[in-house]
Structure 1
C-alpha cells in the first residue's frame, strides 16, 4: 500500500482572479422584450437576471458536463465533493472536508458536517455513495460517466455517516479529480430515470420553470455555506447574440452569455479566456472519410487564421490540439495545420484514382448557438470543402439533436462531420484523451488498439512523465489517426451590467456560480 496522502485545505468560496478586460465594442440598437410568465415579472435589486443562448434541455445533475446544463445546475442547485480552482488548478474542498489515499486504487472521503439538502434532509455518506453509484455505475448513461469515467465502474462503501471510500478498478492517480465531477443528490433520487429538476445542497433551488419562457431559482435559505447575495436568479434564453446583449444594455437583464464581438455589448462587454476548443470531428468509419487522405484534405482546406480574424474578430487563436494552455498534457510545440487548398485537391485526386468515392454527399452537423458565429463558421468550411471538390451540406440542430451524433453509439446514417466544442474544465488531458482519442471513447470517432494502450499508459503516470506522455499523444494522433480538423481555441465574451460584480474565468462557459455574483454600489437601471 502506498503512503497515505491527505488533503485538508481552508474552506473558501472561490472568486476568480483571472484578469479580464472590457471590450470596446460597437453598440447595436435593437429592442427586445422579456417573455411573460405565470409568475410575477417585477424585477428587484434582489433578482439576478441572466440570458443564455439556449434553454437547458434538463437540469439533471448527472449530465452537468454538458455546458448547457452545467452552467445552471453545477454549484448552484447541486454541489460536488470538491471543486477545481480554475486559477490555481488546485482541487479545493466543497462538500468533502478532506480526502486521503489508502492505496493506488482507493481513497477515503470525509464530509463536511451539518449539510442539508434544500428539502431539509441531511447530506450524509449514504447520499454521496448513491450519487456516485447513480452517475457512474447505473444504466442511465449519464454524460458525466462518459466524459469522466468511460466504462470503468467504481466501488463505493459507507464507513460512517460522514465517511466513505471510493475505489477504481485500476490505479488512478487523479481519482479525486474525477469524483469532483459528480454532483451530490439525495439517496432517494431515482437510479433508473433522469430528474429534470434535481434536489441539491446548493445555495439555490428551482422555484419554477415555464418551458420556453423562464427558469427561476430561489435562494436556499437553509444553505450550509455563506448565503449568496441575490435572493433569486431568473434565466431566459435568446438565440441571437445581439438580442442578448441588448437586453443587458436596455436593463432587461444583468448578464448575457456567449456573445460575439459584433453583438454590440459596448462598454458592458467583458472578454475572458475560456477553455473551449472548437473542431470538426470526422467519422472515420464511413466512406470517403475512412481514407486518411480525405481527412488530410479537409484539414488543408480550413483557413483557421481567416476564421479567427474575420469571424471571431481575433478573440481566439488557431488550434493544433483539443486542449488549451494550462491543461496537463498541452503540447506547446504544435502548430496549426497549414491552409493549402491546392494540396487538399491533390490528396482528393489521389484518393479518387484509388477508387475512393470522394464525391459521396457528406452532412456537416452543427448546434444552433453553440458559439458566436457558428452558422457562419460552418458556411465558411462548407464553401472551402466545396471548392476542393467535396459535396457537403449543413444541418443545424439543438442540443438534443446533436447528442445523437456526439455520443456513442453513433447512428448509422452515412458519412457526417460534427462541429464540436470541447472544454477541459478538469485541467488534465485524461478527460480529453480517453473520450476523444480511443476506439471506444464516449465521443471518439475512431482509433487503434495500439493508441488505446498508449492513452491508458499515459493515464497511469504522474508528474512530468504524465505531461510528456500526453503531449506526445497530441502530437501523434493527427499523424496516425486524424479524426479532427481543429479550428480555434476560443475566448469568451459576456455582457455584464454595472450593477453586478462578477469576474468570469476559464470555467465560466461550463459553470457560472451565482454565489460569486454580488451587487455593486451603482443603482440598477
Structure 2
C-alpha cells in the first residue's frame, strides 16, 4: 500500500573507508541470534504435530483483499491458496495454464472468449459460474475500489465483460491487447456476493484453503477446503506468524518452531535451514536525469562503468545473484540474451566525467544516494560500496537511508522537488513474466516509476506492446538495448536469488514466483504421508 506519510531527511556521513574495506577484504560480517524474539511458547508458529504447516513471514499482510494480491505481502498468503484466477502462469516455463478457465481464444483484436470450469464451489458453498467471474473482473478492474491490480496490471484501462452462459464468458478490451489472458491471471475470483463498496478483510474464494481466523498482530490461520475441486493439499491447517528479523526467522526453522520462512538473509542461512532459488527481483540504481550532473548521459554511463557488480554480488550478496545488464531476468518475455554488464573500466569512466566537466557540467554537485532500510540483506553496506565506487569518479555522493514511506516518495510520481540529483536504489520484481509490466512503470517518459525518457523509446515501447509471440520478445529486447544506449537511466546491479527457510520436516521446491505466491498445496510432509 502507498503511504501518505511525508518523507524526512536523515543525512548520514559518508563511510567510504568502511565500504572499501568491505569490498577489498570480502569479509562478511554476520549476525547471530541466540533467542527467538516474541516467541511465547515452543510451538509459536503452530502445533508441531505435523498437521499444521507453520509459516513465518517478514511482516503481517496489510490486507488479504484479493484485488490487492499483486502486493507481495498479500499475495504470498492469498494467491492460489484462498482465491484463484481463471488462468495461471507457470513460473518456470512462462506458459499459461488452465485453472478456473479451461480454454480461451481470441476472436477479434479486442475480444477474447473463455470457457469456465464446471462443478466448482466457493468455500461458502456457493457454486462458481461465469457471473462470478464477470463480477470479480468488474470489481477488480472497473470499480472505484482503487485496487492495486488495476493500476499495476491493467494500467487503469477498462474491460468489457459479458456472460454468455454459466460456463462461458467474453472479455473485450478498449485497444488490442495480445496478453490479456496473462493480465487476467492476476484477477483473483471472488463470489458475486462480495462487497463492492469496500475491500474485504477475510475473502472467500475457490482455493484449497479457507481463512479460519486472523488475529491482528499475532497470526493468520487457514483450514483446508475439503470441497476443493483440485488436488487435495497435504496439511489440514496452515498458520502464519511474522517476525521482522531474518535471524529470528532462521532460528525458528532451526529450533523446529516453523516449517517455512520467507526471505532469509545470507548471514542467517545454512545448508540445513534453507534453500536458494532464483527469484524475479533485479537491483539497480535509478539515476534522476532531470538534475545536473545526472542529466548528462556521459556521467550516467560512467557510473555504470565504475560499479563492480561481481564484487558486490560475491562480497555483499553472498553470491546470491548474477550481475545484471537489464531490469528483467531470464524467463521474462523481453529479456535480451545479448546484453551483458558493462566491464569495470574506471579509467574510461573518469574520462567521460572529465569530458562532461570540461563542457560545464557541475560534476562536484552533491548527489544523494537513497536506499531503504531492510530493502534486501546488507543494503546499507551496498549503498556504501556504491558511494565509494562513484567517488572514484570524483563524484560527491551522500547516503540517505530511509524507511518505506520516505523511499516511496522518491520512487513514485509525483517525484519530490528541490532535493537535487538523486540516485535511488531500487529492487524491481517482474512477477507477471512480460516486459510490458516493467517498461510501462520504469522506462516510459511519464512512467509512474521513471524520472525521464525519450519520445523514441516511448514509441518503441508502444510498438512492442502491440506485438505477440517471438516478435514481442524481440521488440522488448530491442527496447532494453536502446534504453542502455540512448537513455541510461539505470545502473543495474544484480538479478537476485532468494533464500527460503525450509525445515527438514517438509518438502517444497521454490521457484521464481515463491516470493510472491507461496502455493501451500505444493508443500508436503517429508515423510510423504498426508494428513
Taking structure 1 as the reference length, what is the TM-score of the superposition?
0.86
Of 395, 415, 426, the residue aligned with 1:420 is 426
| Shift, 1:254, TM fit | 0.6
The aligned counterpart of 1:463 is 469
Structure 2 residue 400 is matched with structure 1 residue 430: no
- SS in structure 2 at match of 1:170: coil
Q: Deviations over 1:301-328 (max 9, x none)?
A: 4221111110122222100011112222
Instruction: Give a deviation string over 1:340-385, Cα, whole Å, max 9, x none.
Output: 3454444445445545454554443334433332332223223333
2:36 to 32, 35, 57: 32
Matching of residue 299 in structure 1 with residue 310 in structure 2? no
Pairing of 1:94-493 with structure 2 (within 5 A): 94-191=99-196, 193-387=198-392, 388-398=394-404, 402-412=407-417, 414=419, 415-493=421-499
Instruction: Summarize the Cα distance change of 1:112–1:410 in structure 2 as closer, same or farther, 3 Å threshold.
Output: farther
Contact 1:299 1:485 in 2 (8 A): yes
Could you tell me how far 1:406 is from its partner in structure 2?
3.3
1:82–1:94 contact (8 Å) kept in structure 2 = yes
- Between 474-483 and 184-193, report the one with greater CA deviation: 184-193
CA contact (8 A) 1:275 1:324 kept: yes
Residues 77-88 of structure 1 aligned to structure 2 (within 5 Å): 77-88=82-93
**Equivalent-residue separation in structure 2 for 1:463 and 1:43 (angstroms):** 48
Partner Cα distance (1:61, 1:396) in 2? 29
Q: Deviations over 1:453-492 (max 9, x none)?
A: 2111112223332222111111110121222111101122
| Alpha-carbon distance, 1:68 to partner | 2.3
Contact 2:37 2:248 in 1 (8 A): no
Alpha-carbon distance in 1 for matches of 2:231, 2:406: 39
Secondary structure at the aligned position of 2:299 is classed as helix
CA separation in 2, counterparts of 1:297 and 1:188? Answer: 57
Moved more, 27-36 or 308-317: 27-36
Which 5+ residue runs of structure 1 have no aligned equivalent? 1-25
Q: Which whole-Å deviations, capped at 9, do the CAs of 1:143-180 have from their partners, x for residues lacking one?
A: 32333222432222222233221122222222111111
How many residue pairs match? The answer is 496
1:241–1:260 contact (8 Å) kept in structure 2: yes
Deviations 1:484-508 (A, max 9, x none): 1111011222121111011111211
For the 8 Å contact 2:45–2:241, the answer to whether it is kept is no
Counterpart in the other structure of 2:17: none
Matched with 2:515 is 509
Displacement of 1:27 in angstroms is 11
| Residue pair 2:45, 2:240 contacting (<8 A) in 1 also | no
Q: Which moved more, 1:106-115 or 1:126-135?
A: 126-135
In 2, Cα distance between equivalents of 1:27 and 1:360: 36
- Cα distance in 2, alignment partners of residues 193 and 341 from structure 1: 55
Asked if the contact 1:361/1:393 (under 8 Å) is kept, the reply is no
Q: Tell me how far 1:212 sits from its aligned partner.
A: 3.6
Distance 1:450 1:246, change over 3 A: same
How far apart are residue 61 of structure 1 and its match?
2.0
Indicate conservation of the 8 Å contact 1:385/1:392, yes or no. no
**In 2, distance between residues paired with 1:111 and 1:408?**
39
Q: Which moved more, 1:40-49 or 1:503-512?
A: 40-49
Q: Note if contact 1:202-1:223 (Cα within 8 Å) is conserved in structure 2.
A: yes
Distance 1:461 1:101 in 2: 14
What secondary structure, in the 3-state scheme, does the structure 2 residue paired with 1:375 have? helix
**Contact between 1:118 and 1:222, CA under 8 Å: does it hold in 2?**
yes
Q: Secondary structure at the match of 2:342?
A: coil
8 Å Cα contact 1:146-1:435 kept in structure 2: no
Checking the alignment, whether the CA contact within 8 Å between 2:250 and 2:261 is kept in structure 1 is: yes
TM-score, length-scaled by structure 2: 0.85
Instruction: Find the aligned partners of 2:372 and 2:228 in 1 and give their Cα distance.
Output: 36
**Residues 150 and 442 in structure 1, CA contact (< 8 A), matched pair in contact too:** no
1:185 touches 1:199 (CA, 8 Å); kept in 2?
yes
